Structure 1
Amino acid sequence: MRYASITDRLASLGSEKWAVHAEARCRKSKGEPIIELTIGEPDMPPHESLIAEATRAMHAGRYRYSNGRGEPSVVEALVRKYKKRRADVTSANVLCFPGTQTALFAVMLGLVEKGNAVLVGDPLYATYEGVIRATGADQVTVPLRPDKGFHMQAEDLERAITPECRVLLLNTPHNPTGAVLTAAEIAAIGEVCRKHDLWIVCDEVYEELVFSGSFASPFDDPGLAERTIVCSSISKSHAAPGFRSGWAIGPEEFTSRLLSVSETMLFGAQPFIADMTAFALDNPIDTSARMRTSYESRAERIVTVLSKAPGLVPLMPEAGMFIVVDVSGTGMSGEEFAWALLDEEQVAVMPGASFGDRAADFIRISLTVPEDQIEEASRRISALATRSNCRKEKRA
């Protein structure tokens, strides 16, 4: 039988990247005491008021068809949120989607196609390559260097640009590294994008999980307004990943053009979830503040423990719910270390190769489990590193 070429372009870019996670889940279902540190699924539930609002909305009959742009309740709440950052935002700048992933997919579909290219930092979030390849466009990577804290440098971006490039896919705060771009870095990157007439698509899903300092975005610069699109959701900020409630905020001409694409894909999300999202955006809820404190503390504990282990270099994140660790000193790649850790210590982490070529020497550890599991997992990771070091010495 014959298939569309998209199935070939995405053939190895789906669940294959999550093989360690899938295997860990399988073993866990069979009763193995796996400590799962793979995905960014918050260990605290959504605030009870969100569940109450979703329930109220369902009982009020808010389960009928919606519209392509989004329910008025959530569109207006998003206008209020983003108007605090840039005064010219109106409902015409808003499109709602079921989660950031869907927003990114639709946005890319509206901006690039075969013959175009998209710039993205490497390391990068695991699904970005698929989002880009799905359109037929090529991926062009910009090195994110550990010695620069994984912050994208304007000069590295400039060097990577080819005539085919039309979009920079930016992610700050960054997954997997937790890097947070400064306002000065954003300004320099924005200047390069202006010079080369590039769109900036900025994934800001971890906006509310910055440990210290301020969050900066190209969206906040009026000079970049015509070329910047923000994608985000309540998945991380409100510990509500399963509700699948996200959005894209961009220029009016862009949202007008993309609306037909969105309507063809979805024709609206669930009204009761829209009402819950509006409530989340409009009310002071402390979920993100509690997560920030918790994740920072857990990351600091991992750094303290793993820094003492031979061959491991943990890099303290500036935001988010992950920490990356350089394991090259153990003599293993991130892939090898992750599988050995699962087999020998019953701890599941993500191999860095799932996040790009430049992350191949790393593992990514999720901070979304209780402190006692973080402590025990750190001990087991250290134990594997120590054994690996002993094996290296014997071979030498």
Structure 2
Amino acid sequence: MRYASITDRLADLGSGKWSLHIRARQLKAGGADIIELTIGEPDVPPDRALIDECQRAMNAGRYRYSNGRGEHAVVAALVEKYRRRRDDVTTENVLCFPGTQTALFSVMLGLVEAGDAVLVGDPLYATYEGVIQSTGAHQVLVPLKPEFGFHMQAADIEKAITPACRVLLLNTPHNPTGAVLTASEIAEIGEVARRHDLWIVCDEVYEELVFDAVFASPFDNPDLAERTIVVSSISKSHAAPGFRSGWAIGPAEFTSRLLPVSETMLFGVQPFIADMTAYALTHDIDTARRMRESYKSRSRRVVDGLASAPGIMVLPPEAGMFTLIDVSATGMSGEAFAWALLEEEGVAVMPGSSFGDEAQNFLRMSLTVPDKDIDEACRRITALAERATLRKERRA
């Protein structure tokens, strides 16, 4: 039987990147003592008021067909949110989707196709390659270098650009590195985008989980308004990943042209979830603040916990719920170390190779577990690092 070419383009870009996480879940289900530090699932529940609002909306009959652009209340709430950042935002700039992933998929589908290219930083979030390749376009990687704190550099974008490039996909705050671009860096990046007539698609799902840095966005620069599209959701900010409630904010002409694409796939999101999202965006809920403080504290805990681990270097994040760990000095790749850590020590982390070539020497460690588990994980990582460096020394 014949299949569409998209099935070949995405054949190794789905759950395959999460094979270690899947194996860890299998071991855990079988009774193994596994500390799971793989995925970015908040360890606090959504605020009870959000659950109550969702239930209220369902009981009020808010389960019928939705508006393709988005329910009135949530669109109005998004206009209010983004108008605080740029005063020309209206309902014509908003499209609602079930989560950031769907928003990003739809946005890319509306911007590029076969023969086009998308610039994206490396390391990159694990689904970006699939999102890009699903359109028929291909990715052009821009190295994010540790010596710059994994901040994308305008000069590196300039070097990477090809005639096929149509879009620059930014992610700030960044997953997996936790880097937060500064306003000056964004201005320089924006100038490159203007000079080469590139769209800027900015994934800002970790916007409210910035520690001490100052969040900045190309969306906030009026000179970049005609070319910038933001995608985000309440998944991280309100600890509600399973509700699948996200959005895209962009130029009115763009949203108008993308609306039929969105309606063909989805025709709106669930009204009762839209009501909950509107409530989340218009009320003072401290979930993000509590997560921000917790993840910042735990990132420092990892630094302290691995301070004596030979061959290990922790790169503390500026935001988000992960930290990167460089294991190259142990003599093992990130992939080999991650699998050995699972099999020998019962700690599941993501190998950096799941996030691109520039992360081959790293592990991505989630900070979404209690402090005692962070401490125990660090003890087990240290034990493996000691054995690995001893083997390396014997080989030398």
Same fold (TM over 0.5): yes
Cα distance in 1 for residues equivalent to 2:137 and 2:206:
26
Cα distance in 2 for residues equivalent to 1:259 and 1:136:
20
Name the SS of the counterpart of 1:62 in structure 2: coil
Cα distance in 2 for residues equivalent to 1:353 and 1:319:
21
Q: Which amino acid letter does the alignment assign opposite residue 39 of structure 1? A: I
Identity %: 75
Cα distance in 2 for residues equivalent to 1:168 and 1:388:
39
Aligned to 2:102: 102
Q: Deviations over 1:313-347 (max 9, x none)?
A: 10010000000001111111110000000000000
Aligned to 1:393: 393
Cα distance in 2 for residues equivalent to 1:213 and 1:39:
23
Q: Deviations over 1:142-161 (max 9, x none)?
A: 01000000000000011100
Matches within 5 A, 1:107-118: 107-118=107-118
Cα distance in 2 for residues equivalent to 1:16 and 1:296:
30
Aligned to 2:248: 248
Range with bigger deviation, 305-314 or 123-132? 305-314
Name the SS of the counterpart of 1:201 in structure 2: strand
Q: Which amino acid letter does the alignment assign opposite residue 117 of structure 1? A: A
Q: Which amino acid letter does the alignment assign opposite residue 222 of structure 1? A: P
Name the SS of the counterpart of 1:262 in structure 2: helix
Q: Deviations over 1:56-108 (max 9, x none)?
A: 11111101110210100100000000000000000000000000000000000
Verify: 1:12 aligned to 2:12, yes or no.
yes
Matches within 5 A, 1:189-268: 189-268=189-268
Q: Which amino acid letter does the alignment assign opposite residue 225 of structure 1? A: A
Cα distance in 1 for residues equivalent to 2:146 and 2:263:
41
CA apart distance, 1:213? 2.8
Aligned to 1:91: 91
Cα distance in 1 for residues equivalent to 2:156 and 2:100:
27
Cα distance in 2 for residues equivalent to 1:222 and 1:187:
11
Cα distance in 2 for residues equivalent to 1:370 and 1:54:
28
Aligned to 2:169: 169
How many residue pairs get aligned? The number is: 396
Verify: 1:120 aligned to 2:120, yes or no.
yes
Aligned to 1:288: 288
Q: Cα RMSD between the aligned structures? A: 0.5
CA apart distance, 1:306? 1.4
Cα distance in 2 for residues equivalent to 1:386 and 1:297:
25
CA apart distance, 1:394? 1.9
Verify: 1:80 aligned to 2:80, yes or no.
yes
Name the SS of the counterpart of 2:230 in structure 1: strand
Give me the TM-score of the superposition, normalised by structure 1. Answer: 0.99
Cα distance in 2 for residues equivalent to 1:392 and 1:186:
42
Aligned to 2:150: 150
Q: Which amino acid letter does the alignment assign opposite residue 318 of structure 2? A: E
8 Å contact from structure 2 (residues 66, 271) kept in 1: yes
Cα distance in 1 for residues equivalent to 2:168 and 2:259:
21
Cα distance in 2 for residues equivalent to 1:337 and 1:214:
34
Name the SS of the counterpart of 2:8 in structure 1: helix
Runs of 4+ in structure 1 deviating by more than 2 angstroms, as ranges, are none
Q: Deviations over 1:364-392 (max 9, x none)?
A: 00001111111100110111001111111
Cα distance in 2 for residues equivalent to 1:249 and 1:386:
49
Give me the TM-score of the superposition, normalised by structure 2. Answer: 0.99
Q: Which amino acid letter does the alignment assign opposite residue 209 of structure 2? A: L
Q: Which amino acid letter does the alignment assign opposite residue 237 of structure 2? A: S
CA apart distance, 1:304? 1.3
Name the SS of the counterpart of 1:311 in structure 2: coil
8 Å contact from structure 2 (residues 213, 318) kept in 1: no
CA apart distance, 1:308? 1.8
CA apart distance, 1:248? 0.1
Q: Which amino acid letter does the alignment assign opposite residue 157 of structure 1? A: I
Verify: 1:35 aligned to 2:9, yes or no.
no
Q: Which amino acid letter does the alignment assign opposite residue 390 of structure 2? A: C
Q: Deviations over 1:170-224 (max 9, x none)?
A: 0000000000000000000000000000000000000000001310000000000
Aligned to 2:378: 378
Cα distance in 2 for residues equivalent to 1:211 and 1:147:
20
Q: Deviations over 1:228-263 (max 9, x none)?
A: 000000000000000000000000000000000000
Verify: 1:133 aligned to 2:128, yes or no.
no
Cα distance in 2 for residues equivalent to 1:391 and 1:195:
51
Name the SS of the counterpart of 1:348 in structure 2: strand
Q: Which amino acid letter does the alignment assign opposite residue 357 of structure 1? A: D
Name the SS of the counterpart of 1:120 in structure 2: strand
Aligned to 1:312: 312
CA apart distance, 1:307? 2.7
Cα distance in 2 for residues equivalent to 1:261 and 1:308:
53
Aligned to 2:338: 338
Cα distance in 2 for residues equivalent to 1:62 and 1:337:
49
Cα distance in 2 for residues equivalent to 1:275 and 1:307:
46
